[in-house]
């Protein structure tokens, strides 16, 4: 039987929000309207933390810069983003957690609302090959076509995470019924739908709302960043 290990990314495996940091990085590069973009980026981040994010409005904001530049240029910037921002903040306890599941032979997947352009290279740093993320739409070939600024399919957010995970499981000829054990590590109350779906929910570096919910339900609480 298969054991499934699902991980949220932002504030779960990494001690920050990769979507927010990418936005701030674009401001530093000078490729977006600095003050206005930074202010909007901050507001969307606070809305997410307070559980009131308008996901469609946010994605129009977050994906627009991808549509304004070539894939070659975007990759160059993202490589710099990995070096200047991400690699300096990777956490050894989080890496150890993932390695434990990988060494056990578990099917590991990061499930994140942040788009796959931003997150795929970060997830690769953990040695995880499976990623369920919000997918930016492209013109032509998905792998090298220019980004349109729109979303391809259902955003991987709240209940959408459950739907996207179930579709991913089907692609592996798996289902909740055929998985012996399933874990989901998350920090956010926004992920309650998927936490309720797995057999082993783990509140990981939880926000105050999720911490209270985990204590109420006797879910384990894991602190990776203390």
Q: What is the C-alpha to C-alpha distance for residues 125 and 92, in angstroms, rounded to an integer? A: 12
How large is the average pLDDT for residues 51-58?
Answer: 91
Q: CA–CA distance from 6 to each of 63, 134, 217 (Å)?
A: 25, 16, 20
pLDDT at residue 210 tops 80 = yes
pLDDT at 49: 86
Strand order across the beta sheet in which 221-222 lies: 147-152, 130-138, 107-115, 2-7, 179-186, 200-204, 221-222
Domains of the chain by start residue, with CATH: 2-15+91-222 (3.40.50.1000), 18-86 (1.20.1440.100)
**What is the per-residue pLDDT across 82-122, written as a single tens digit (0 to 9) for each?**
999 999 999 999 999 999 999 999 999 999 999 999 999 99
Catalytic residue numbers read: 8, 10
Q: Which pLDDT band holds residue 145 (cuts at 50, 70, 90)?
A: confident
Q: What is the C-alpha to C-alpha distance for residues 173 and 181, in angstroms, rounded to an integer? A: 16
**What is the per-residue pLDDT across 146-193, written as a single tens digit (0 to 9) for each?**
999 999 999 999 999 999 999 999 999 999 999 999 999 999 999 999
pLDDT at residue 198 tops 90 = yes
pLDDT at 142: 66
Q: What is the mean pLDDT of the chain?
A: 95
Q: What is the C-alpha to C-alpha distance for residues 85 and 219, in angstroms, rounded to an integer? A: 32
pLDDT at residue 196 tops 90 = yes
Q: What is the DSSP string of the chain?
A: -EEEEEE--BTTTBSS-HHHHHHHHHHHHT-S-HHHHHHHHHHHHHHHHTT---HHHHHHHHHHHHHTS-HHHHHHHHHHHIIIIITTT--HHHHHHHHHHHHTT-EEEEEEEEEHHHHHHHHHHTT--EEEEEEEEESS-TTTSPEEEEEESS-SSTHHHHHHHHHHHHHTT--TTTEEEEEEEES-GGGHHHHHHSSEEEEES--HHHHHHHHHHT--EE-S--
Q: Which of 12-21, 25-34, 102-111, 152-161 is predicted with the least confidence, judged by mean pLDDT?
A: 25-34
């Amino acid at each position: 039987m298969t054991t499934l290990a699902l991980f949220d990314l932002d504030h779960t495996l990494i001690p920050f929000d990769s979507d927010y940091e990418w936005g701030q990085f674009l401001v530093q590069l000078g490729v977006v309207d600095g003050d206005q973009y930074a202010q909007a980026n901050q507001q969307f981040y606070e809305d997410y933390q307070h559980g009131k994010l308008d996901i469609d409005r946010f994605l129009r904001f977050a994906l627009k810069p991808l549509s304004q530049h070539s894939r070659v240029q975007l990759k160059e910037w993202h490589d710099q983003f990995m070096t200047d921002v991400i690699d300096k903040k990777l956490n050894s306890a989080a890496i150890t957690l993932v390695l434990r599941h990988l060494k056990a032979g578990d099917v590991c997947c990061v499930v994140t609302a942040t788009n796959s352009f931003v997150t795929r290279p970060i997830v690769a740093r953990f040695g995880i090959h499976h990623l369920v993320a919000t997918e930016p739409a492209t013109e032509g070939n998905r792998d090298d076509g220019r980004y349109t600024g729109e979303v391809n399919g259902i955003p991987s957010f709240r209940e959408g995470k459950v739907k996207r995970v179930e579709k991913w499981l089907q692609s592996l000829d798996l289902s909740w019924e055929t998985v012996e054990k399933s874990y989901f590590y998350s920090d956010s109350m926004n992920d309650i739908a998927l936490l309720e779906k797995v057999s082993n929910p783990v509140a990981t570096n939880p926000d105050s709302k999720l911490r209270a919910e985990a204590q109420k339900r006797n879910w384990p609480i894991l602190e990776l960043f203390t």
